[in-house]
A = this chain, B = another copy of it.
């Protein structure tokens, strides 16, 4: 297995040169564009890794699944999906068009930025600090890693330059999708995107989904089984931005990517997979990471379809 992972990493490393680092905030351009690594944890407790699996990166959009879990556990599925849709879209993650064209002005799903910001606005807490604290603590629990923290310079950079996200949020404020103060909601959103993780952390989170919501190490149920089912479904239909359909056909694993270069992939009943590769394709997914998952899914016949 270790050998297989090494081969897959090395044979796909060439794709990194075809990608670009995320450039919308200056901090992200400091990443190592050539890096590529993988970490796998299986349900029976084995760990496998290869490549640059130890480098740290910000979780970015992968945090969207964490805030969605909390929002559902706080408010129930019905309330959450009365404010945010469940439909995939061919538009890019920061598109604002659908908010206007859509009859109800609902963001189409919780994996695009608009939907994720609306989701964050539904998480309970007496103020923004409590809301964020709940998100961070829950992420630590999912990873089994008490040391997670926010990358402050990325957070400040996101906050300073987040005009497009402000546009999305104020639009939703104008249509009453968001009820809280916009700047407070965005502050939490920028912070959760700036949590620093490794591919190992992502593989641990994925493993909880692979185990239907029960922590494989503590045997504690972290979330109801139904919630894991909802999240896995939405990752499958919407998790890889506007390349989700193609990813489902070619790879067939519930997955979520972030512009920090991470991909979290779930092989239900089998393993949790974490990938890092900061060079992105034009949709915003790790360009070499997607290829790594394609090879891995074929070799191990992991597709859920």
User: A233 to B88, alpha carbons, bound, how many Å?
Assistant: 14
Q: Which residues of B contact A89 (CB under 8 A)?
A: 88-90
Do the beta carbons of B97 and A246 come within 8 Å of each other?
no
User: Which stretch (A43-51, A147-155, A248-256) binds chain B?
Assistant: A248-256
Closest to A24 in B: B174
Query: Chain A interface residue count: which class?
Result: 35 or more
Give per-residue flags for A74-95: 1 if the beta carbon is below 8 A from chain B beta carbons, else 0. Answer: 0000000000011111100001
Whether A237 contacts B248 by the Cβ 8 Å rule is: yes
Q: Does A12 contact B (CB under 8 A)?
A: no
Nearest B residue to A229, CB-CB: B305
0 or 1 for each of A231-266: is its CB under 8 Å from B? (1 = yes) = 011101110001111101100101000000000000
Q: Is A170 an interface residue (CB 8 A)?
A: yes
* A85 contact set on B, CB distance < 8 A: 90, 245-246
B249:A245 contact, CB within 8 angstroms: no
Dominant SS among interface residues on chain A: helix
* This chain: copies in complex: 4
Do B167 and A170 have beta carbons less than 8 Å apart? yes
A148 to chain B, nearest CB (A): 27
Specify which of B174, B242, B243, B244 is in contact with A163 (CB 8 Å cutoff).
Answer: B174
Please measure, in the bound complex, the distance between the C-alpha atom of A100 and the C-alpha atom of B97, giving whole angstroms: 7
7 contacts between A and B (CB under 8 A): A87-B244, A88-B90, A101-B101, A230-B249, A233-B303, A234-B249, A236-B237
Q: A96-B167, A234-B249 are in contact. List 20 more A-B contacts (CB 8 A).
A: A86-B246, A86-B248, A86-B249, A87-B90, A87-B244, A90-B98, A96-B99, A96-B100, A97-B97, A101-B101, A164-B174, A166-B173, A167-B171, A167-B174, A233-B252, A234-B245, A237-B237, A237-B244, A254-B305, A268-B305
Q: For the complex of A and B, list the 7 residue pairs with the smallest distance between their C-beta atoms, beginning with the closest.
A: A88-B88, A163-B174, A167-B171, A166-B170, A87-B245, A167-B170, A163-B173
